[in-house]
Structure 1
């Protein structure tokens, strides 16, 4: 629809890149409104150009709000019609869902200057006759015309050439309502525009009719495509005729699954007249409304928010942001006050919420988020409250029947809860296995170290990960320079190593001690001054959160330990913070492996060095690969 302009806006790697060039088409309208505003000194409420632009913004907001609601799994999980997630393929295919709104807005802009519609030039705020005319025309013309046109699109070559693309989206969302070919968009435009055109030709059109009819049309379309059942079955039980006057998300989903049923626009009455109603439409709607279609996840990754800006990267925010690795988008900056207000609200409610899910090897994996932000974990007075929220999440997972719950970086902080030992010790009869995933994190870091390295410098050496890395490397006869000022903690770790390998563990108390070592394993944040002691050509491996900043141009910097999920993962449509698509933090992957292997032990507290190779081989066996 946008031809070469659209094609030029795509990234060369095939991942869609959202552009705003198409909205430059409204430049003349904006200029005309700005000129009228300047001349009159107030908003040009008597200008159709102004109302078209306002309506464009409201329509886009309608689609976005329905999308956000449909993906708020903490509200909608039990009433989702299709339980599968939306994957990256569908997201990329639907990237330009706003084509429909853009086309209809441009048509409206042409209509207001067309002499065939003289009544449009007169702006009346309200005329009840127009609402009556529009309603009659919608029921008598738009609904039956769309029904027969829709049925025609499902026949022969019309389906393969003009409608199959729309049905390629396995899980409908509000944005799917705007996704289609130009022919489908044109049919929808006629269905929406016919009642308005009739009302204005009858001399009964008004501004309120345009706003009301268009926004209600979009609202009903988004509701049907939301994949969340919003109409109670009790309403249909109390008023049976109502089920023929308004469709439901379940009703529409059956059309997407069985293409020869449920063709109507909004009113199943015409499917009843045409004999195309799916026999399970109301029965399935009742089951979903009652939550009988719910699935308990096998695995839960308990994440946390890093900061206010990254909190807008959630899947129920902007899909164009969450489906790509996190970065600070300019479009998000004006929404920072709203995100900050949501942060305060989350603190007040203190409820763990579900943000995303995917399916691997037939098992449902979900990500839950503790409503706490990164800086809060370093406030001593917040420690008790954070642990309480993590504990409640574990108990909720245990009650639901979740098999494995893995803790994200700060949720398993040693100073916070001993790497999860606090909860296992407090609740010894937990059925859910609590996992910190650091065994696989250690394996990913260790596998990155070249086989010819004979000496490494380790900061954060007495931490949970630092200890395991040091003990593992000394067994390989690699000299480990452990940075720590605590001789007692160093000696405690050294005594854990077999006697013949203890000489390979060396305590250093200053960064100067590593000025000749080119392999640094960083578990503690390094300032530019501290990085200065590394010799040229040094590579910084790291397991510190947040990761260190690469100040040295003559050195190289590794990323946080991560693993790529298998290619057969289903329903994954969001990126985990700054990770690439399909890549998760190693502690997340560690929980996945724990679940797939069916291990029945908790993985909390100190890392078992003897299990590092076991966990690594299990990860590779299940198709996970180092990122």
Structure 2
């Protein structure tokens, strides 16, 4: 049996956990029917709106953090996210569910009578919330966070959160119920104080929760978003707001940088990592960037598959592609983006991975499959491919592989058009067949005088056989009688 509050009570429900929102939805539906319109004075409605908007904040930050064409040079940890981390964080929204349910309990609690009155704005509440955040939430969270790093509390609870090697915006909500309760108390304390003194308002609830989630997602984004020049111009600012680099150092080394949002409390407690600002400057200047060893130059298949990119929805992009009905409402947006890409887009980085120490990136030509068969677009597509090859050559990329229709014989002769046009290219322009042939030929020892080849009737097999013959290596081929006409 696990430790108390180390697992979620609805973990066995899977996707059916969202049934927990049923009572809130039913309450809003009842009030809507009774009032003949949207019950804008209902806290239940506001809780559901907060749920949707908070999920949107996490999704937007996730999309931005994984748009490598914007963020590649400012990534704090250069490694990618593996499937083990994706599986572990799959139910990242458990904390949001818990906070929504606790909020539903709070609005009906006699401890907060002021919540029965829905005021849109009260400046006193904002002042009280800010004061309580600095005086209670920040030091309280840091104390609890540091306690979670000690002895059994870490091994039974907090180690799960630190099992994610590369922080992502969704990692900010990933953890055990105990950790989520600590974070919920830090977020709720300023709101509770404002309502207890009768200064709470709807705008305060929305504003405080949005700011809290925004800063959490920013810190976990793994992308440096604050310029080091801001800290140079205003040195005290570095103690008022943390950075993604600051939090990444905590995740990596675990013995420093415990604060919620304000490093001031780490400074007072003597737990600021000494390289926090030096490393932040290096990341912001792009010194963490690396030239890829290999580039796969792809293109978009169709409008539906374009929504399967890594920076869209993790639940879709982390699984094999299939048409998902939930994405169909976004089809008009994807179609408009397709038109926009034709008008003003250029090749961009979509994904990457590391294999045996080599960095592999996927670049995408902003053209869709059907456009390759429109004659007037042929020159424009070749121009995009040529610019990508020249860019890779300038960067120092070793190998660039043309994918699918980018190597079409009718389009550019399998890439020979660009090699002939630029004979001094340092980057090796290949495609699947030529790259496979090169790998096979490289494995043949130089002392070999005879090779027995199977499958030689394929285009790849014939290319290998002809190359070996030119090298004066005897080639033995086995094929059926009905295959002789292919030679």
- In the superposition, the TM-score normalised over structure 1's length comes to 0.70
Q: Which of residues 267, 270, 278 is equivalent to 1:275?
A: 270
In the alignment, does 2:27 pair up with 1:32?
yes
Match of 1:478 among 462, 477, 480: 480
Distance across 1 between alignment mates of 2:431 and 2:290: 24
Aligned to 1:7: 12
Shift, 1:7, TM fit: 3.5
Query: Residues of 2 paired with 1:337 and 1:120: CA distance?
Result: 41
With over 3 angstroms needed to count, the CA separation of the structure-2 counterparts of 1:443 and 1:329, relative to structure 1, is: farther
Moved over 4 A (4+): 439-444, 464-474
Task: Please point out which of 505, 515, 537 is paired with 2:485.
Answer: 505
Q: CA deviation at 1:143?
A: 0.2
Q: 2:236 is matched with which residue?
A: 241
Is the alpha carbon distance of 1:420 and 1:455 closer, same or farther for their aligned partners in structure 2, counting shifts above 3 Å? closer
Q: How far does residue 57 in structure 1 lie from its aligned partner after superposition?
A: 0.4
Q: CA deviation at 1:399?
A: 0.7
The verdict on how the C-alpha distance between 1:475 and 1:283 changes in structure 2, with shifts beyond 3 A counting, is same
Give matches, 1:315-394, under 5 Å.
315-394=310-389
CA distance in 2, matches of 1:348, 1:28: 48
Are the aligned partners of 2:455 and 2:479 in contact in 1 as well (CA < 8 Å)? no
* Comparing 324-333 and 256-265, the one that deviates more: 324-333
Residue 180 of structure 1, CA deviation: 0.6
Q: Are residues 215 and 313 of structure 1, via their aligned partners in 2, closer, same or farther at CA, if it must alter by over 3 Å?
A: same
Judge which range, 27-36 or 65-74, deviates more: 27-36
Q: Can you list the C-alpha shifts for 1:31-69, whole angstroms capped at 9, x where unaligned?
A: 221222233232211111111101100000000100000
**Displacement of 1:6 after TM fit?**
3.3
> Where does residue 294 of structure 1 map in the other structure?
289
1:389-468 correspondence runs (5 A)? 389-439=384-434
Tell me how far 1:468 sits from its aligned partner.
5.5
Q: Distance in 2 between matches of 1:370 and 1:6?
A: 42
1:192 corresponding residue in structure 2: 187
Q: Could you say what secondary structure the match of 2:303 adopts? A: coil
Query: Residues 455 and 478 of structure 1 are in contact (CA less than 8 Å); yes or no, is this contact kept in structure 2?
Result: no
Is the Cα contact below 8 Å between 2:400 and 2:429 reproduced in 1?
Answer: yes
Query: Retained in 2: the 8 A contact 1:470–1:480?
Result: no
In structure 2, the partner of 1:116 is 111
Aligned-partner Cα distance in 2 for 1:101–1:441: 48
8 Å contact from structure 2 (residues 455, 461) kept in 1: no
Match of 1:163 in 2: 158
What CA distance in whole angstroms lies between the structure 2 residues aligned with 1:307 and 1:53? 35
- Deviation string 1:288-340 (CA, Å, 9 cap, x unpaired) is 11111111110111111100010011110111111111011222111111111
Distance in 1 of aligned mates of 2:365 and 2:13: 40
Cα distance in 2 between the residues matched to 1:317 and 1:362: 27
Corresponding position of 1:135:
130
Pick the aligned partner of 2:67 from 59, 69, 72: 72
What SS class does the counterpart of residue 263 from structure 1 fall into?
coil
Matched residue SS, 1:336:
helix
Name whichever of 23-32 and 226-235 sits farther off. 23-32
Q: C-alpha distance in 2, partners of 1:371/1:480?
A: 43
Higher helix share: 2
5+ long unaligned stretches in structure 1: 10-18, 445-453, 482-503, 508-627
Aligned length: 460
1:564-587 deviation digits (Å, cap 9, x = unpaired): xxxxxxxxxxxxxxxxxxxxxxxx
CA distance in 2, matches of 1:385, 1:399: 21
- Residue 148 of structure 2 corresponds to residue 153 of structure 1: yes
Task: Write the deviation string for residues 228-258 of structure 1: whole angstroms up to 9, x where unpaired.
Answer: 0000011111111111000000000010111
Cα offset, 1:480, TM superposition: 4.3
**Structure 2 length normalisation: TM-score?**
0.90
